[in-house]
Amino acid sequence: MNKARTNPFNNIAMHGALILYTLIALFPVFVILINSFKTRKAIFREPLALPDADSFSLIGYQTVLKQGDFFLYFQNSLIVTVASLFFVLLFGAMAAFALAEYRFKGNTLMGLYLALGIMIPIRIGTVAILEMMVATGLVNTLWALILVYTAQGLPLAVFILSEFMRQVSDDLKNAARVDGLSEYAIFFRLVLPLVRPAMATVAVFNMIPIWNDLWFPLILAPAEETKTLTLGSQVFIGQFVTDWNAVLSALSMAILPVLVLYVIFSRQLIRGLTSGAVK
Amino acid sequence: MTALTLTNVNKSFGEVHVLKDINIEVEEGEFVVFVGPSGCGKSTLLRVIAGLEDATSGEVHIGGDLVNNTPPSKRGIAMVFQSYALYPHLNVFKNMSLALKQEKQSKAVINERVAKASKMLNLEDYLERYPSELSGGQRQRVAIGRAIVREPKLFLFDEPLSNLDAALRMNTRLEIANLHDTLAASMIYVTHDQTEAMTLADKIVVLRDGRVEQIGSPMELYNNPVNQFVAGFLGSPAMNFMPAGFVSEGDPRTIGVRPEDLRLQDDGGLSATVQHVEHLGGDTNVIAEAKGTQITARLFGQHAINQGQTVTLGYAPERAYYFDKEGHRV
């Protein structure tokens, strides 16, 4: 065993730094969470205090659940996020496989073209996207959002996944070809399981921005029945008065589904890493 | 019947011409070894035979059928890769049976063939294990087993021993030789190791720069190499080359003498200074320098020779090979 690695001081310093970072990162979430359980006055009087018998109140949650159709917003957000992730991973992996595996004219050029989206933010094209959605009649449907988010996520997905797929041994793919597996079978049954950690990484990278996005739901799908959670929460933020109880409660609830998704993906990530370690 | 016929096979990657007019015939049941230095195109040739690469021109016949446009799995071949290439998420049984499943063989046939192959390779106790739980030698045996169960017309081995350590390499080499005897199958084996080539082959194909230099049985190539490259490539230690001027004044040719044909001889024509001595017990390798040329002599038995000593070496004239300036045998 390496001595430097087992040095207790190093160990403490490392964990100390990590714990400090965790505290800093979790602090805003913690403040939101405690304040969502307090009365409006208590939030402003002592923002950092824990809710006690006097200041405890569920008024925020009650407002949220009464006002608007919050479960529908939840459902919309979840459908958009999961569907977008599914398409990003499916198409991203397929494009990455083609780029990594096959020699064809313009392979590098195609790779660069697909990576262009990493450098150019999709929001620049908002007006054109809106025009397209109007022309195709997709405005105020969840499909509008799913399509846009898929486009937004693909460049990075292709970029990351093609790098990982290049690392999958050629011999392995050739062995499968000799054994009579079709190219689709090689892709789905051999290569995809081997790049699962990369898939999880891409999923995590894409999930949070999609879930939190306000821009495209506001522009492409502001109708009541297609509102996402982030957009739905905006009703509590007014120009003059903001219902902080409701905002904080809505945000607290919005964390939960992402947390669940994240746990699912990160477990894949760890499992993938350890199974790859012993080749 | 011939197991494999290659007719004027060429392969180019863009501008790079990798295989140049390859013509080879492999008879039924023959063990053929492709040997050559790295980068000579031997692996590419094997991949062309397997169908993993398309030949740019020329014809590939396997078992009499033209297979240029046949996918690898329909060519009646099985291939063993250098890196084993086992499916990491499947256990040994599933690794061996995957190809049969793809061929839609019945369960009974699959079980019978896997049982037979695993018995042959002593893998019966490991069928439930995953590749990551096996040693290098076991993994290579699984890879070979995966080829056997398909009962192919032609086995292709791509440097199957180069990832194994020396002792295991020798055992596995013997196993492959036994396998060839038991199965009586046609096999093509690619290696850069001339010892493997000499010990396993019925017929050796020596390749250099994408060209066939010489085809023949190991002893034919050893005793009768057509050029300096083949002479130098086969045999270990390698053949000594020196200007013929050393022994006869004004001769422009090159003399080749195998280390085992050199002997200590007081009236021998070669006086050399010993640079290094390798005592192997049964043999003694003497590496010496004569007029700026390094000469290796392999002496049978044990000899008390020291570094820096001057020795006189000689050889029987009929054991010498002569090559012209282009390296052709004369």
CA nearest neighbour of B156 among B117, B188, B199: B188
Q: Is residue A45 part of a domain?
A: no
**pLDDT mean over A216-223:** 90
Residues B142-170 pLDDT 10s: 999 999 999 899 999 999 888 888 888 88
Residue B203: the pLDDT is 95
- Minimum distance, in Å, between the CA of residue A112 and any CA atom of chain B: 22
**Best residue in A103, A173, A174, A178 for a mutation probing chain B (most B CBs within 10 Å):** A178
Nearest CA in chain A to B104: A180
Residues B71-96 pLDDT 10s: 999 999 999 998 888 998 889 999 99
State the total domains in chain A.
Answer: 1
**Best residue in B46, B53, B98, B162 for a mutation probing chain A (most A CBs within 10 Å):** B98
Q: Is residue A10 part of a domain?
A: no
CB of A178 within 8 Å of any CB in chain B? yes
Which residues in A103-142 are b (16+ Cβ under 10 Å) and which e?
eeeeeeeebeebbebeeeebeeeeeebeeebeeeebbbbb
Query: Which tokens in the block code for residue B6?
Result: 């290659």
Which residues in B150-164 are b (16+ Cβ under 10 Å) and which e?
bebbbbbbbbbbebb
**A-B Cβ pairs (cutoff 8 Å, strict):** 59
Q: Distance from CA of residue B302 to its chain's centroid?
A: 30
Q: Is residue A92 part of a domain?
A: yes
Q: Is residue A6 part of a domain?
A: no
| Other residues' Cβ atoms within 10 Å of the Cβ of residue B8 | 12
Nearest CA in chain A to B130: A279
Q: Is residue A135 part of a domain?
A: yes
The ipTM value here is: 0.83
Q: Is residue A265 part of a domain?
A: yes
CB of B244 within 8 Å of any CB in chain A? no
CB of A176 within 8 Å of any CB in chain B? yes
Residue B89: the pLDDT is 85
Residue A260: the pLDDT is 86
A271 pLDDT more than 80? no
| Residue A162, domain extent | 68-277
CB of B136 within 8 Å of any CB in chain A? no
CB of B14 within 8 Å of any CB in chain A? no
Residues A124-168 pLDDT 10s: 999 999 999 999 999 999 999 999 999 999 999 999 999 889 888
Query: Which tokens in the block code for residue B275?
Result: 């640079």
Residues of B in contact with A278 (CB under 8 A): 132
pLDDT bucket at A250, cuts 50 / 70 / 90: confident
Domains of chain B: 2-231 (3.40.50.300), 238-323 (2.40.50.140)
SS3 at position A197: helix
Query: Which tokens in the block code for residue A246?
Result: 């409701």
Residues of B in contact with A105 (CB under 8 A): none
CB of A48 within 8 Å of any CB in chain B? no
Query: Which tokens in the block code for residue B245?
Result: 């001027």
User: CATH code at A143?
Assistant: 1.10.3720.10
Query: Which tokens in the block code for residue B40?
Result: 């000579």
CB of B52 within 8 Å of any CB in chain A? yes
Q: Is residue A16 part of a domain?
A: no
Residue A279: the pLDDT is 40
Q: Is residue A14 part of a domain?
A: no
Task: Give the global pTM.
Answer: 0.79
CB B240 within 8 A of CB B321: no
Which residue bears the tokens 């140049």? B20
